[in-house]
Structure 1
Amino acid sequence: MITRRSFLSQTAGFTAAASIGTSVPVMAAAGSPVLKLYGPPVGPSVVLSYIANKGLLSDYTQNVDFTVYKSPDVLRAGFISGDWQLAGTPSYVAANLANKGLPVKMLNIMSWGMLYVLSYDGSVTSPADLAGEQVGMFFRNDMPDLVFGTVMEQNGLTAGKDYTLHYVSTPFEALQLLLSGRIKHCVLPEPAATAGMVKGKTVGKSVYRSIDLTKEWASVTGGNGRFPMAGMMVHEDLLNEQPELVEGFQKACVTGTEWVKANPEEAAAVSSDSIPMPADMIAQSIPHTHLTAERAKDIRGELEQFYSILAQKNPSIIGGKLPNADFYL
């Protein structure tokens, strides 16, 4: 079951602590034989699982202990304590934590967005087709809501005037409303979108992946149809103590991402022991996760643009300001 807790790590439902101290203990001494690596359930974690299981970091560490986490509270607590030093996270969460005083950096982006509008109406193919309609939405005033609302505004549609939003607490609730027929359209992330289409078939209903909000982002920026949704967050302790490991990990992300994209079925089989989702569904979701492995410093402009757009409607989402330049590795 996809709950708020499990989904937050995949998309962007994290809510950072209101106050985070600046003193964080070191996890382990340099040269530790084990690298602790954490990731969300599916999405970029398929790549992380491949890196861990195929020994891509054997030149830097004896073993990679990869764990899939489900709770944003656990993610936050792990970094505050120093027990966690490398984890997948929504990009704005890393910015928020850095602005709260936590010594973390953004290493890369591993997903260029994985938000979709699902619909029973096969004729819906663009934001304009949702005029006069009701759309299911989860996490009011959080990243998915802000992304969708901004895309709609850039297409001349205003919530409450040209269309209405039916807010629910979780993507699972939105999916249930869609499958029950109580709503015709809803915004869902991966892997919930793939799950919705698969589930629709099992109950004899046609559910369409109508709009890819990643592609629609071009209407917002005037540039690429993509937004830097999620990537890897690194603690400064690991960066200072084992910089060669961090660089090796980034190279492994590039290699792993290309392999996963080219071999989704095999990748799903490798990751199915770590990720709580059927392997066939993992494989189906991979092409829709828009996997990448681009260094944060190389796409700093896109990250800052994304943060600024989100902050126009909710400044607290990134902690009230853009991160410092050295946040982007």
Structure 2
Amino acid sequence: MPRTRIWLSCLLLSAFACLSAQAAPTKKVETIRLAGPNAIFSLPLLHMLDSGALDAYAEHVEFRQWDGPDQLRALLLQGQIDYSAAPVILPALLRNRGEPVRLLNTSVWNVVWLISRDPKVKGFADLRGETVLSPIQREFPGLLLNEVLGELRLEAGKDIHFRALRSGPDAIALMQAKQAEHILLVEPAASLLLQRNRQQGGAPLYRVQSLEQAWAQVFPDAAQLPIAGLMASRNVADDSELNTHVADAYAQSARWCAQQPRACAELAHRHWPHMPVEALEEAIGTVDLDLHSARDFRPQLQALYARLLRQSPELIGGQLPDDGLYGP
């Protein structure tokens, strides 16, 4: 082999070895414990689990489903999870209460939907005098909706009556029984209702407007509404290397779900057998799995936190969170 070719071969091998060394983790933890609700923004976590995306960084990877913000808070405070999909107000609240958590990214858009029987309803502004089923009215999206209604000169309880329900399935059952004209649901529950209605040959239901679309209309200077993201618990919040790997894996899995909605729906169905593949696929195609690192998206997050601080300061602990919140 000519000396030039030998030299080039050695150079390429050295470069490959260097890149491999950079890609390899410097340490491997025993277990990474992921968590999330039965919602669209948990899908990347399920794919990370099934694809082995974190196998290079942990001996074992687990996923635990939580069923409400109170349960998630308890799991975090008890140190039982490492990373969780969560509403973006939760890490801000916990950090202001002295819990050193970190928000790694914001991840999902167009996830909260208004569905109506009335084709004349084109948005939340058309609901004056109406009753709306809402299993989310006491949760973070319900608080954001109140902000939108205020800009539309509508007052919840006066101009629009929200019938608060304990769960999405309860609300869906009432809607299917034709005991309501309008409903607010978070994906994939919204797509599940629409699919069931089509299967049963019911009168048409219309996907009217998402909360995020309504927000962009009334707050054009703050059009991007961050609702959910991936947070790191106190167990791992200071491990910037692991946080970066986990955030990158989440982003890759989110892209896979967006590009392969059917395969992603089938994966989700294996974990949530009560959810039909077709409804999950429709939900994946409806939402926007557009990721931003929390650090890069800090201005938009701070604008949201500042608005909440003026209206409901207790939601984020009475002050803006410090810069350490924004990861990875």
TM, length-normalised to structure 2: 0.83
1:85 aligns with 2:82: yes
CA–CA separation in structure 1 for the residues paired with 2:46 and 2:153: 42
Match of 1:169 in 2: 166
**Unaligned 5+ residue runs, structure 1?**
1-29
**Unaligned 5+ residue runs, structure 2?**
1-26
CA–CA separation in structure 2 for the residues paired with 1:295 and 1:218: 21
CA–CA separation in structure 1 for the residues paired with 2:232 and 2:277: 29
SS in 2 for 1:129: helix
Residue 157 of structure 1 and its aligned partner are, at CA, apart by 2.8
CA–CA separation in structure 1 for the residues paired with 2:167 and 2:305: 23
1:61 aligns with 2:58: yes
Match of 2:212 in 1: 214
Match of 1:185 in 2: 182
Residue 57 of structure 1 and its aligned partner are, at CA, apart by 2.5
CA–CA separation in structure 2 for the residues paired with 1:33 and 1:317: 34
**Equivalent of 2:231, from 206, 230, 233?**
233
1:303 aligns with 2:309: no
SS in 2 for 1:124: coil
**Pairwise CA RMSD:** 2.2
1:259 aligns with 2:256: yes
CA–CA separation in structure 2 for the residues paired with 1:136 and 1:214: 18
Q: How does 1:91-240 map to 2 (within 5 A)?
A: 91-205=88-202, 206-223=204-221, 225-240=223-238
1:324 aligns with 2:291: no
Distance 1:236 1:57, change over 3 A: same
- Determine if contact 2:112/2:141 at 8 Å carries over to the other structure: yes
Aligned residues: 299
TM, length-normalised to structure 1: 0.82
CA–CA separation in structure 1 for the residues paired with 2:263 and 2:50: 12
SS in 1 for 2:183: strand
- Determine if contact 1:143/1:310 at 8 Å carries over to the other structure: no
Question: Per-residue CA shift, 1:75-130, capped at 9, x if unaligned?
Answer: 22322122322111111112112222212111111212411111001221122322
Larger Cα-atom Rg: 2
Match of 2:19 in 1: none
CA–CA separation in structure 2 for the residues paired with 1:52 and 1:265: 18
- Determine if contact 1:146/1:313 at 8 Å carries over to the other structure: no
- Determine if contact 1:42/1:275 at 8 Å carries over to the other structure: no
